[in-house]
Amino acid sequence: MKKIFYFLPLVILAILAIYLIMGLGRNPQDLPSVLINKPIPAFELAPIKGQTKGLSNLDLLGQVTLVNIFGSWCEACRLEHDLLMKISKNNLVPIYGIDWQEPNNLVGPRWLKRLGNPYTLVGDDPKSRGAIAFGVTKAPESFVIDKNGVIRFKHTGRITENTWNNTVWPIIMDLKKQ
Amino acid sequence: MIVETGHFALVMALCVAAVQSTLPMIGAHKKHSSWMALASNAALLQLLLLIISFAALTYAFVTSDFSVTLVLNNSHTLKPLLYKVSGVWGNHEGSMLMWVLILAIYGGAVAIWGNNLRPTLKARVLGVQGILGFGFLLFILFTSNPFNRIFPAPIDGQDLNPLLQDPGLAFHPPLLYLGYVGFSTTFSFAIAALLEGRIDPAWARWVRPWTLAAWGFLTGGIALGSWWAYYELGWGGWWFWDPVENASFMPWLAGTALLHSAIVLEKRDNLKSWTIFLAIIAFALSMLGTFLVRSGVITSVHAFASDPTRGVFILALLVITVGSAFALFAWRGPALKSTGIFQPISREGGLLINNFLLSVATASVLLGTLYPLFIDVLDLGKVSVGAPYFNSVFVPLMSPMILIMGLGPFLNWKRGDAILALKQLQIAAIIALTGAVITWFLIDRATVLAAFGIGLSIWLFCATLSELAGRIQLFRAPIIEVLRKLRRQPRSSWGMTLAHGGLALVIAGMTASSAWRVESIQSMMPGDTALVSGFEFTLKSVQNIEGPNYTASRANFDVTNRASFKISLEPEKRIYVVSRQPTTEAGIYSTFLGDLYAVIGDPDGKGGYITRLYFNPLVTWMWFGTFIMVLGAGISLSDRRHRVGAPARRKLPRGATAET
Amino acid sequence: MKRKNKRLSMISAAFLAICAAMALILAAFEDNIVFFYSPTEIINNELQANQRLRLGGLVEEGSVQRATGSPIITFNVTDLITTVPITFKGILPDLFREGQGIVAEGNFRGGKFFATEVLAKHDENYMPKEIAEALKKSGKWKGAENALPQTK
């Protein structure tokens, strides 16, 4: 009888652990987007200051593209930027940017001026319209879109050289061949 | 190169931990003394390696080596040196490195000062420490390596979260970790004792200093965090029952219970399995705190970058270590026989009730913290459990505890006389009652609860003083004799007197600042005056100023009480250049009776500013009270009798009957 | 046997104490749990005027208005389907911004939310979990099934 008490902590720990695991399970980071293999939703974003053309879903038709959500406030975007510059310099794939949640319309363009602009077109997205269309939860996030405007791949977080070489670039090559 | 050395040292530390966690354990089992002796060397080597590793990371931060990703993400050349250094632990990876470093420091301390431990016990304690170190080093190397590089190195970094660029918060994590991780030592002692199947008063004496150290650091760490929230968040509050705060508070409650139950074990050879259980729980709660803060399962205002992989890893560590500890407890625990018996009314009885109340309080905080998660997991909706829950549970639980805290030290071990004790406490009781009544009738806006809180505080303070007076026979013996007794008081009993007295001050501060805080929010033009609790706050001017890595609007308030008192306050609203994040710096002037507190907000569009002004009564009492409590822990720690080497030199004359 | 009796009475006393503590905790839960609502839910639920609740969503662009010369601030919170006006007196948190997710605590009377507290995360980069979920419920969120809030 007395021994049962000594097992109580173990039982409570087990119950607690189950709840905590379930709690963790509720927040998986990289669940594939429900948008995968679906056409991009319609959206239209104004240009950022200093440019004439914004970004809409129609711009993404006709060729394989990479859509990148970024913001000058975002640390990981800064880290990703060098890679994006390399990609655009080598003309690997056109990159379209969504400049997300800038505090004012000046910092985004200034950031691109300082670090270089790898984007074919950039849409200004202070109201999260574009981000919500793509279901973005955090920046940076990138999407590979095929010729028909269908989302084929989503990457959450920074694209590193590794992920680019091993994952993203092979997918783009495949899509280009189709 | 230095960074690589640090990385290499970290990997080496993992290897050493692997040795430390296996060979001494086997040695202790098979009685190979040379294998057991390995434990100390391994622990010291691990400490050395982790110091190298930590120093390397600090070097990277100080020299702004932005090729290290962690430095890039958390530092900036413009940052003052202090914050470059504190940037080392102001992030997940670096703070985990600090975690294992502190673990190694405690391990090294056991290795150095634990010479009088039974060799098998010492080997096992260090072995368990080795296991913990191994687990956490694995965690760091696999999921959170602080030494990752980025090529090519960018020119400048992303800066440390501006909220963390603050002296209070710079030292808050180290203290907190010294507390959290300190409980790993008591945990290791508990496991080692269970493995040996031998738990006796000597064991309790060995554990005591580690518990005291951990408790003292944790108390200081929590107070520093609370102080930071008070002046930095600009809400005038000091405790928000936020999950992250609770994460540090739960081990504190369990640790306090442990501190007291270990005394019963030490003096009376009783409450054995309960003490072991608390030693496991205190560390389990520390690990749970680490998990909650870093896994993102619970939404909090201030949590680290959360990452489910890290969460899974910490949870696995927690379940494995605590699970096997509890399993061992279930297996070996029932065999632990307590010899001492006692009456319900006795010192033991008092400490037992205090333990019970502290445990229930811990459980209620745990429940409140995890409740939103339970509800979420069961898909019953999104809820939050806020301060009202905790307050309405905590006050009724803690009030009887405070009452007993005053009474307990007057009861004898084994069989106490409540009537006699109460007689000795007559004066304290009368003063406390008078204080409560005066509060109730004479102070504006006094609620029953506030009067009660003040009464409790006075009760505890006077009871603690009467206990000291009784011990030194104040007013009953010649003054020379009294002074001699005062000098002869063992440090551990000074520890108790200070800790209890300090808590009395803290209670007074908490009660007063919650009950009589005066808040005034308004829009003010330069030249305007607002009246707060008898003080006139005049906004003189608002200027734009430039700091080293921020710009700010700084307001200048003159505060006067229409008499001779006149000071000025300069709250700021800062915007940090790199992250563009705004922060609030409250302007605070502390007096004995309360703090004058001013915060400047946004412009109101008419040339004025929104301001928030407070009079926060007795807030400094809380900080001072916790300081006294920590001081008590320190003095008690320095008691020869309780030092690690205690049982060996017991020849000292034992001062009076004093027992803490 | 006498000792056994004593033991029994101590155990029952402890049991009673635990029951009392449980009752205390449960009662506190009953009164002090604050439910979280999205703007759409708050409009569609029957709520008592004095019930404390939390409302989360995005601060609508251009909706923040300060009554000149007074610390009263009004703004709208939206889940992109329903918009709820919020009234708040005081200084907004440092990270409050239009277009940003916030959580307000207070009560809902006559179609207006009176906030006693407005919370924004210490970290501006990410969407708080509750808000992401509120947006998901409103069907405007087309992203990953489970959004992860990232904080630091």
- Both B86 and B116 in one domain: the answer is yes
pLDDT score for C135: 59
Considering CB atoms only, which of B154, B326, B580 is closest to A9?
B326
- The helix/strand/coil state of C92 is coil
Report the Cα B76 to chain-centroid distance in Å. Answer: 30
- The answer to whether residue B151 sits within a structural domain is yes
Quote the CA–CA distance of C77 and C56 in Å, as a whole number.
7
**For B97-119, what is the mean pLDDT?**
91
pLDDT score for C22: 85
Would the CB atoms of A138 and C146 count as touching at under 8 Å? no
- The answer to whether residue B599 sits within a structural domain is yes
Question: Which residues in chain A (54-83) have CB-CB distances under 8 A to chain B?
Answer: 73, 75, 78-79, 82
Residues of B in CB contact (< 8 Å) with A are 69, 72-73, 150, 152, 154, 158, 273, 277, 280-281, 284, 291, 295-298, 306-308, 311-312, 315, 318-319, 322-323, 326-327, 329-330, 333-334, 370, 373-374, 376-377, 579-580
Q: Which residues contact A150 (CB under 8 A, 6 or more apart)?
A: A37, A38, A39, A40
- The sign one gets for the Cα dihedral B225, B230, B232, B235 is positive
Counted domains in chain C: 2
Q: Which residues of B touch C151 (CB under 8 A)?
A: 296, 299-300, 302-306
Residue with tokens 């300060």: C66
- Both C98 and C61 in one domain: the answer is yes
Q: Which residues of A touch C121 (CB under 8 A)?
A: none
Q: pLDDT exceeding 70 applies to what percent of chain B?
A: 93
Counted domains in chain B: 3
- The boundaries of the domain holding residue C21 are 1-33
Would the CB atoms of A23 and B150 count as touching at under 8 Å? no
C6 touches chain A (CB under 8 A): no
Q: Which residues contact B658 (CB under 8 A, 6 or more apart)?
A: B471, B489, B490, B492, B493
Q: Kind of pairing, strands B383-385 and B518-524?
A: unpaired
The tokens of B7 are what?
């990385």
The tokens of B532 are what?
């707060």
Q: Which residues contact C130 (CB under 8 A, 6 or more apart)?
A: B299, B382, C36, C54, C56, C103
Residue ranges per structural domain of chain A: 31-177
Would the CB atoms of A19 and B291 count as touching at under 8 Å? no
Closest CA to B424 of B464, B461, B470: B470
Amino acid at B19: V
Would the CB atoms of B356 and C17 count as touching at under 8 Å? yes
From first CA to last CA, the distance across chain B in angstroms is 52
Amino acid at A78: R
**For C72-76, what is the mean pLDDT?**
89
DSSP string, B366-389: HHHHHHHHHHHHTTS--EEE-HHH
Higher pLDDT, B560 or B604: B560
- Both B601 and B494 in one domain: the answer is no
- Both B499 and B630 in one domain: the answer is yes
Q: Which residues does residue B21 pair with via DSSP β-bridges, in sequence order?
A: none
* Residue to substitute from A22, A57, A69, A128, interface C, most C β-carbons within 10 A: A128
The tokens of B146 are what?
């602080």
H/E run at residue B92 = helix B92-113
**For B398-423, what is the mean pLDDT?**
88
pLDDT tier for residue C144 given thresholds of 50, 70 and 90 = very low
- Both B447 and B508 in one domain: the answer is yes
- Both C16 and C84 in one domain: the answer is no
Q: Does position A139 have pLDDT exceeding 60, yes or no?
A: yes
CB B236 within 8 A of CB B612: yes
Residues of C in CB contact (< 8 Å) with B are 10, 13-14, 17-18, 21, 24-25, 27-29, 31-36, 54, 66, 68-71, 89-92, 94-95, 105, 119, 121-124, 128-130, 133, 148-152
pLDDT digits (tens, 9 = 90+) for A63-97: 899 999 888 877 678 778 888 998 998 888 999 99
Mean pLDDT of chain B: 86
- The helix/strand/coil state of B1 is coil
- Both C43 and C115 in one domain: the answer is yes
Report the Cα B590 to chain-centroid distance in Å. Answer: 23
pLDDT tier for residue B375 given thresholds of 50, 70 and 90 = confident
pLDDT tier for residue C149 given thresholds of 50, 70 and 90 = very low
- Both C69 and C117 in one domain: the answer is yes
Closest CA to B193 of B23, B37, B329: B329
Buried b (16+ CB within 10 A) or exposed e, A110-119: ebbeebebbb
Closest CA to B371 of B361, B360, B355, B382: B382
Q: At what angle do helices B619-637 and B491-515 cross, to 10 degrees?
A: 170
User: What dihedral do alpha carbons A66, A71, A76, A78 form, nearest 10°?
Assistant: 90
pLDDT score for C2: 59
- Both C102 and C71 in one domain: the answer is yes
Question: Closest approach of chain C CAs to the CA of A73, in angstroms?
Answer: 7
Would the CB atoms of A31 and C100 count as touching at under 8 Å? no
- Both B509 and B401 in one domain: the answer is yes
- Both B590 and B640 in one domain: the answer is no
Would the CB atoms of A27 and C144 count as touching at under 8 Å? no
- Both C13 and C61 in one domain: the answer is no
- Both C119 and C73 in one domain: the answer is yes
Q: Which residues of A touch C94 (CB under 8 A)?
A: none
Half-sphere exposure of B297 toward its Cβ, with a 13 Å CA cutoff? 33
Considering CB atoms only, which of A13, A21, A73 is closest to B580?
A73
Query: Which subunits count as partners of chain A given 3+ CB pairs below 8 Å?
Result: B, C
pLDDT score for B334: 86
- The boundaries of the domain holding residue B148 are 1-160
The tokens of A109 are what?
């363009």
Would the CB atoms of A134 and C142 count as touching at under 8 Å? yes
- The answer to whether residue B185 sits within a structural domain is no
Q: Which residues does residue B204 pair with via DSSP β-bridges, in sequence order?
A: none
Q: Which residues of A touch C126 (CB under 8 A)?
A: 137-138
Question: Closest approach of chain B CAs to the CA of A63, in angstroms?
Answer: 31
Q: Which residues of A touch C145 (CB under 8 A)?
A: 31, 34
Half-sphere exposure of B613 toward its Cβ, with a 13 Å CA cutoff? 26
pLDDT digits (tens, 9 = 90+) for B573-628: 888 876 667 788 899 999 998 999 999 988 877 788 888 899 999 999 999 999 99
pLDDT tier for residue B646 given thresholds of 50, 70 and 90 = very low
Mean pLDDT of chain A: 82
DSSP 8-state secondary structure symbol assigned to residue B408:
G
- Both C83 and C126 in one domain: the answer is yes
Q: Does position C100 have pLDDT exceeding 80, yes or no?
A: no
- Both C52 and C118 in one domain: the answer is yes
- Both B406 and B512 in one domain: the answer is yes
Catalogue the E-assigned strands of B506-637. Answer: 518-524, 529-532, 535-546, 550-560, 566-569, 572-576, 582-585, 587-590, 594-603, 609-617
Quote the CA–CA distance of A161 and B149 in Å, as a whole number.
13
pLDDT score for B290: 86
Where do the H-state alpha helices sit in B520-586? none
Quote the CA–CA distance of B460 and B457 in Å, as a whole number.
5
Would the CB atoms of C146 and A26 count as touching at under 8 Å? yes
**For B432-441, what is the mean pLDDT?**
91
pLDDT digits (tens, 9 = 90+) for B20-47: 999 998 988 888 888 888 899 999 999 9
Would the CB atoms of A27 and B296 count as touching at under 8 Å? yes
pLDDT score for C121: 57
Q: What is the CATH number of domain A31-177?
A: 3.40.30.10
Query: Which subunits count as partners of chain C given 3+ CB pairs below 8 Å?
Result: A, B
CB B585 within 8 A of CB B163: no
pLDDT tier for residue C150 given thresholds of 50, 70 and 90 = very low
Domain end position, chosen among B131, B160, B189 = B160
pLDDT tier for residue B631 given thresholds of 50, 70 and 90 = very high
In this structure, of B248-252, B391-395, C133-137, the range with the lowest mean pLDDT score is C133-137
Closest CA to B18 of B41, B44, B42: B42
**For C52-77, what is the mean pLDDT?**
82
pLDDT score for B238: 86
Q: Which residues of C touch A33 (CB under 8 A)?
A: 143-144
* Residue to substitute from B93, B158, B375, interface A, most A β-carbons within 10 A: B158
Give this complex's ipTM.
0.82
Higher pLDDT, A106 or C122: A106
pLDDT score for B653: 40
Quote the CA–CA distance of B332 and A129 in Å, as a whole number.
61
- Both C74 and C3 in one domain: the answer is no
- Both C108 and C45 in one domain: the answer is yes
- Both B574 and B482 in one domain: the answer is no
pLDDT tier for residue B98 given thresholds of 50, 70 and 90 = very high
Quote the CA–CA distance of C33 and B376 in Å, as a whole number.
13
